[in-house]
Each structure stands twice: as C-alpha cells, then as structure tokens.
Amino acid sequence: MSTLRERLIQARKKSGLSQGQTAEKVGISQPTYSDLETGKQLSTGVLPQLAEAFGVDALWLATGRGSPPDLSTAEVDLAEYEVLAAQLSDEQLADAFLEYFRSLPRHKKLKKIKQLLDEFYDEE
C-alpha cells in the first residue's frame, strides 16, 4: 500500500497541478503543501479539499483504500498527436477532441479552455 505522501504526489501529477496551484486551490501556502508531500507535515485537515482539487476519491487519498485515480490516460507527446491527427478527418478529429475534453476533471477543462482562448487570441 502506498503512503499518504506518495498518493498526494500521484494525484497531484495526474491532475496536472503544480504544488503552488494546489496550495492556492485549498487555501494553504505552497511550503505547507510541499511539507505534506515530503512527509514533514502530517496534518490531514485539508485532505477533503485536496481530493476535490485532484478529482480523486477522498477515502483513497486519505487511506489508500477505495478507488485510486485512473492512471491509464498517460500524457502523449504532441508529435504523436500530430501524426494521429493527420490520419483523421476534421469530423473524427473534433469527435476525438470532445471525447478527450469530456474525460477531464472540471478544473482541467477550465485550464484547457483558457489555454485555447489564449492561443486563439495570440494568433490574431
């Protein structure tokens, strides 16, 4: 069974958040969050907020029991996406994007929307 610090790191990385972003989401300082990940801080008062921020089961995060996060959706290199995209019609590409977008936790959806809008306005 994994330790709390291992589960925190695993869940944070899967969520795509930095330590600073995580700390901000749950209302603690980045050094305090870092201490949780290193095992220097053992306070578990913010575990429910962390579980919500990471989009994982609170019981799993706290104890290692319950439903672990789905790690099957590994990040894929952009070049691999470009090769795949070249083989798809525009409609297939749009369907694949929507399927991917629907699978994201809410906080990642908002982050992706912001990134897309920033890129859109940068191109104008």
Residue-wise pLDDT for 19-53, tens only, equals: 999 999 999 999 999 999 888 877 668 888 998 89
Tell me, what's the pLDDT at 119? 80
- Domains in the chain, please, with CATH? 4-63 (1.10.260.40), 78-123 (no CATH)
Q: Are 61 and 54 in contact (CB under 8 A)?
A: yes
Summarised one tens digit per residue, pLDDT across range 86-103 is 666 777 767 767 776 777
**Residue 122 to residues 79, 84, 101, Cα–Cα distance (Å):** 22, 25, 22
Over range 2-6, report the average pLDDT. Answer: 85
Q: Are 26 and 53 in contact (CB under 8 A)?
A: yes
| 59 secondary structure, DSSP code | H
Tell me, what's the pLDDT at 42? 72
Tell me, what's the pLDDT at 72? 42
Which residues, in sequence order, are CB contacts of 75 under 8 Å at separation 6+? none
Percent above pLDDT 70 for the chain: 77
